[in-house]
Structure 1
Amino acid sequence: MTNNFHAALARSNSLLSRGRPQILQLNTGKLCNLRCIHCHVNAGPARKEIMTDTTIDQILAWFEKTDIPTLDLTGGTPEMTPGFRYLVDSVRNFAQPREVMTRLNATIINEPSYDWIPEYHARHGITIIASMPCYSPDNVNEQRGDGVFDSSIKAFQKLNTLGYGKDPRLPMHFVYNPNGASLPPKQLELEADYKREMQKHFGIVFNDLYCITNMPIARFKSYLKRNQQLDEYMQLLRDSFNPTTVDGLMCRNTINTSWTGEVFDCDFNQMLKIGLKNPSNESPLMVWDINPETYDQIAILTADHCFGCTAGSGSSCSGSLQ
């Protein structure tokens, strides 16, 4: 099968090479209390894939020996992983401090069994990155489910009272995904709109807005197929290829790890099962087998969905690349 993304890189004389790892991104599992239509993980309340304590221990033992500065926890809803607090507590006890961030589904805060989250995150200085597809309820509820907007607002207000979005030690960033088959608008312009409207109507403050392109995989791909938009959307991504975004792609500095410990170039490759191989025996590469000093010698694996990260202003786990 032709790798159109690889061909686009070649035509633009763009080199996609791995750098030294700066982020360990752990997908702790697919369990979530929501079923968002844009979700590339196909996460939901019935999912059973979840990181075990044994896997957490293996990852911790390896991670502590590295100098990778950032731990990025994603899912699903990371906080629904039974070992979440054990994982964070352990990292906070490392001799070398690390930044810990969580990709929080804010509605989980309002679930009775998870009311510990706000105070725990504030006490441990966890950076929060939270999905908020719009500052009006209709778009949010359409994308993430009925009642999600109001629940999210309540959660963000609670986090604000603890200092999130206000205290420099407690950053809170929002994530915008387009509500359909289009590219995100300019990030800084939309961020200004968000900050104005969230403050005006709800008294909510936050730090940065991350605009992330919807990936044509998993649940969003099914949505595109149902609406007969898949081919059109893929063409939009290909036509919008921007070679100047390549240097900022997250696969260059991120080690993405599944709930089993298997390594991928990104969370999207993980969901497509495009995994890295152990150079010594061609078995799936496990994170505890990585040598950070030589990891940059392993080639980055690409496919056509990678156009989603290079379209327009580019897209990464930290928002637009330009």
Structure 2
Amino acid sequence: MAPKPTSLFKRHSPLSFPQYQHDVLAAVDLAQTPHEGDFAQTLAANHWQKLTPAKLEIFQINIGKLCNMSCRHCHVDAGPDRTQENMNRETIDLCLHALDLTEAHTVDITGGAPELNPHFRYLVDQCVGRGKHVIDRCNLTVLLLPRMEDLPQWLADRRVEIVCSLPHYRQRNTDAQRGDGTFEKSIEALHRLNAVGYGQGNPHRQLTLMSNPVGAFLASGQAKLEDEWKAGLQKNYGISFDRLITLNNMPISRYLEWLEQSGNLQQYMELLVNSFNPATVAGLMCRNTISISWDGRLYDCDFNQMLELECQGSDAQPMHLRDFDPTWLAKREIVTDRHCFGCTAGAGSSCGGALD
């Protein structure tokens, strides 16, 4: 399961096209599963005739697909070769203008490796200046790059929460998903974050670890795993952190490629559908979050963004930041498809971790 050296896009893989991914998922035979794997019918059978937004709380900005890594599970298909999809200053200013029109309390900055965007620090400062809680979704290894050495202290000074991707607290499992040597670099980065006060119980320097399974199965119990991880990282490496969140892998992009190549696609899709948990629906991230792409288009969630399923209004017209209208957004119906079973399976999965 060693990571590929480049993105699907760089390799000219058919899976780099969202429509092809839709076709692959639609072709999976789910006739023997409840409602034949139709997400909308599954919702309707559980008293959700349609999925609508709750109050907008989180403004998530994906500022680009550029990353210093090419992880096997990446739903963004990010990598060092994705240099074109990088949010420019004009679009970032449009994000800030749109943010000012909402009551969102949190700005969730993601990528790729968002820190590699040349306007990352400007965006953080602008959001902090507006009194927003800012989240930086960090792959850890980016903090070891020479020009990023000051970043842990810089983020700490601004009270930015750091949500770090770490598949497992053991080296073998992490390197299998993210590449040889990744675990060692991640541990070094965590030491640097601890050194500036992250992960010590200070609510203004919150360090969150994010784990997703290495393989074709659902995320394990979040609370139990958190205790296990805290004990394991402290005992073996002297590292502390504040909380652990767990995510199911989404059957899109490079994880979809692995599912196909390993012969696990049928089994995994059946697992997701059969594990549908109605208790997760109310808390789905698409209900309290709006997701902004690097080019300013609007999506219900980051996963829909990667499949280019744009927000749709009553007139079925997609929306861009230039036309941002909170009233319109509040009235929309959330776009769903088969991949959405990934967020409702088992304990559920969202950018904030388990839902049940």
Is TM > 0.5 for Structure 1 vs Structure 2? yes
Which letter does structure 2 place at the counterpart of 1:32?
C
Alignment pair present for 1:39 and 2:74: yes
For structure 1, list consecutive stretches of 5 or more residues without a partner in the other structure: none
- 1:265 alignment counterpart: 300
How is 1:199-214 mapped onto 2 (pairs within 5 angstroms)? 199-214=234-249
1:160-209 deviation per Cα after TM superposition (whole angstroms, max 9, x unaligned): 01110112211010011000100011111111100000111111111111
1:69-128 deviation per Cα after TM superposition (whole angstroms, max 9, x unaligned): 11000100110011001111122222xx11000111110111112212111111111100
Deviation of the 1:35 alpha carbon: 0.7
Output the CA distance in 1 between the equivalents of 2:209 and 2:282. 24
Contact 1:130 1:175 in 2 (8 A): yes
Alignment pair present for 1:61 and 2:58: no
- 1:92 alignment counterpart: 128
Identical-residue share of aligned pairs (%): 44
Find 1:29's aligned residue among 57, 64, 76: 64
Output the CA distance in 2 between the equivalents of 1:211 and 1:86. 30
Return closer, same or farther for 1:242/1:278 CA change in 2, 3 Å cut-off.
closer
Alignment pair present for 1:50 and 2:50: no
Output the CA distance in 2 between the equivalents of 1:249 and 1:149. 30
Alignment pair present for 1:148 and 2:174: no
- The alignment partner of 1:314 has SS state of coil
- CA-based RMSD of the aligned residues comes to 1.4
Aligned residues: 319
Output the CA distance in 1 between the equivalents of 2:324 and 2:236. 48
Deviation of the 1:17 alpha carbon: 2.0
Alignment pair present for 1:313 and 2:347: yes
Deviation of the 1:294 alpha carbon: 4.0
Find 2:309's aligned residue among 274, 286, 290: 274
Output the CA distance in 2 between the equivalents of 1:293 and 1:153. 45
Contact 1:20 1:292 in 2 (8 A): no
1:251-284 deviation per Cα after TM superposition (whole angstroms, max 9, x unaligned): 000000100110011111111111124656x543
Output the CA distance in 1 between the equivalents of 2:203 and 2:332. 37
Output the CA distance in 2 between the equivalents of 1:301 and 1:171. 32
Output the CA distance in 2 between the equivalents of 1:265 and 1:231. 26
- 2:164 alignment counterpart: 130
Q: Which stretch of the first structure deviates more once superposed, 67-76 or 269-278?
A: 269-278
Deviation of the 1:292 alpha carbon: 2.1
- The alignment partner of 2:326 has SS state of coil
Output the CA distance in 1 between the equivalents of 2:39 and 2:335. 10
Contact 2:89 2:119 in 1 (8 A): yes
Which letter does structure 2 place at the counterpart of 1:136?
R
Contact 2:312 2:335 in 1 (8 A): no
For structure 2, list consecutive stretches of 5 or more residues without a partner in the other structure: 1-25, 27-35
Q: Which stretch of the first structure deviates more once superposed, 20-29 or 269-278?
A: 269-278
- 1:285 alignment counterpart: 319
Which letter does structure 1 place at the counterpart of 2:108?
D
Contact 2:37 2:273 in 1 (8 A): no
Contact 1:3 1:303 in 2 (8 A): no
- 1:114 alignment counterpart: 148
Which letter does structure 2 place at the counterpart of 1:208?
R
- 2:23 alignment counterpart: none
- 1:254 alignment counterpart: 289
Alignment pair present for 1:103 and 2:133: no
- Give the TM-score of the pair, scaled to structure 2: 0.87
- Give the TM-score of the pair, scaled to structure 1: 0.96
Output the CA distance in 2 between the equivalents of 1:316 and 1:288. 27
Output the CA distance in 1 between the equivalents of 2:305 and 2:162. 22
Which letter does structure 2 place at the counterpart of 1:59?
C
Alignment pair present for 1:245 and 2:280: yes
